[in-house]
Chain A
Amino acid sequence: MSGATDTGDTDAPADLVTGIVVPIHVEYEYTAGEAASRFLSHIPERRLVGQRHGDHGLVYVPPRGSDPANGEPTDQDVELTDQGTVTTFCIVNVPFAGQAVECPYVCAQILLDGADITFQALIQEAEVSQIHPGMRVEAVWVDDPEPTLESIRYFRPSGEPDATPESYKDHM
């Protein structure tokens, strides 16, 4: 499974082992958990369902099971829409291995209507130069959504007028 190899470092003495190959392989089977499972189970219905603690907690999407501000369980479901507002974004110009879309493209933080935290997603079907905070966007789903976030292909501009800065200033 391994062997000593001279990596050809010319500054090293000839008899110095400068590296060996030791393959490692570890598999994990993750547990999404009760909260994330509830969230994911609605994805095939094209529904985004956030969660909060009690009647007045902040609405988290995707939920991880707790309100991370106070450690209380997110015991209430809150139906959201698949539309929202871009709060901030970046334009990716750097290609990397396994990149799913062509550069340049936009990664945005989107405040889904009814949520208290932003949701990260790609934005497509728009010129990158046109994308801006306050832009209204909507999800584009795959044809047969499964219980995974990959069921949302990306978000695109919905054509609605921009949201007012007041509506998202506390979620930047």
Chain B
Amino acid sequence: MRDVAVVAFAQAPNVRRDSDRNEVEILMPVLHEVREKVGLERDDIDFVVHGSTDFQAGMPFSFVGALDAYGAWPPINESHVEMDGAWALYEAWVKLQTGEIDTALAFAYGKGSPGDLVDVLRLQLDPYLVFPLGIDPIGMAAIQCRAYLEGVGRTEADMASVAVRDRRNGMTNPCAQVTGEFTVEGLLAEPMFVSPLRRHDCPPISDGACAVILAAGDRARDLVEHPAWVVGIDHRIEAPGLGMRDLTVSESTRIAAEKANASGTFDVAELHAPFTHQSLILEDTLGIDAAVTQVNPSGGALAANPFMVAGLTRIGEAAQRVLDGAAGRALAHATSGPCLQQNLVCVLEAREG
């Protein structure tokens, strides 16, 4: 395998509603900042790929319009995935492995505020057999949560402790949206939202964007002191039907982690768990020991969850700790689809594999 590393990460502040700026205006400063961090001009980037969905923007070909934020003249080598930006990064990593390119920019944007995101996400359901039932993504997460609590024996207090942790961690992240000091008792006193989920168990709706630059071999070594080497990365998907899978575990995460060699201990883990119980499932599956691994120092998806962005943000946040010299080994995870349907695991290390 070719040595490939994350060399830069930048993100926009996450907010519930950016009513001043459109998607291009949110992205533009992020794409400038990420290049400035490593002193790369547009000509120095060999490949650009991003993740977004037109359903969220409510505009056909909004993903093409997003290129206005980067600049596409003379024409550039570019691609797009209708997935979280973490999968854009995966495509960039694969292209780097081919040896065709030495640098790549992966970015993502998601403005959850223009439409009703819950309605928008319902559109991804099977139109014949699931959509007419009137269920939405929060209801689906609640179904998973109930199965998990009953099946594994965890409690609503365990879930609340995830929210307490992530919101507290978010206080040190200037880009986080939902932060603060809370207590498990205080959160459990709140009313049910979609039982067994309370509001603190669910992610905020966010407007946001982020960008990551990858570089291979000596290019990465020349650009930064501590490249965050991608020593393992893999993603796996499960069947879409909720009744077809075991909702109390994440088999796709387990296999992706195995293929990415995500065993042993980590200094930091950034998990893309939009719901509190999903963080518990992921921690169980990945074998994370909170005594040695700091989980979601950024606040995770409970502190800010720009749809299509938050997975790539996890890779960026994990990599940033290696770039800063604060972590020697970091784990990043991204998810897509209802109830942890598809999962990506990425292992980042200060030393190359």
Q: Which residues of A contact B (CB under 8 A)?
A: 1-2, 20, 22, 24-36, 64-73
Contacts and interface: CB of A to CB of B under 8 A. Distances in A.
The 10 closest A-B pairs by CB, nearest first: A33-B22, A71-B71, A28-B58, A69-B73, A68-B68, A70-B71, A65-B25, A28-B115, A28-B114, A71-B70
Nearest to A66: B68
A1 B73 contact: no
B275 to A, nearest CB: 23
B21 to A, nearest CB: 6
Interface stretch (B126-134, B153-161, B250-258): B126-134
A164 to B, nearest CB: 26
Nearest to A31: B22
B352 interface: no
Contacts of B28: 65-66, 71, 73
Contacts, number: 89
B176 interface: no
A43 B68 CA distance: 24
B224 interface: no
A34 B119 CA distance: 27
A30 B132 contact: no
Contacts of A66: 24-25, 28, 68-69, 71
Nearest to B22: A33
B18 interface: yes
Contacts of A32: 22
B132 A31 contact: no
A34 B131 contact: no
Contacts of A29: 113-115
A71 B119 CA distance: 32
Contacts of A70: 42, 71, 73
A31 B32 contact: no
B19 interface: yes
B323 interface: no
Nearest to A21: B132
A35 B26 CA distance: 12
B218 interface: no
Contacts of A26: 58, 115-116, 119-120, 123
A31 B128 contact: no
B131 A35 contact: no
A63 to B, nearest CB: 10
B277 interface: no
A108 B294 CA distance: 60
B20 interface: yes
12 contacts: A1-B134, A26-B119, A26-B120, A29-B115, A30-B58, A31-B20, A32-B22, A65-B28, A68-B73, A69-B72, A70-B73, A73-B28
Contacts of A64: 22, 24, 65, 68
B110 to A, nearest CB: 13
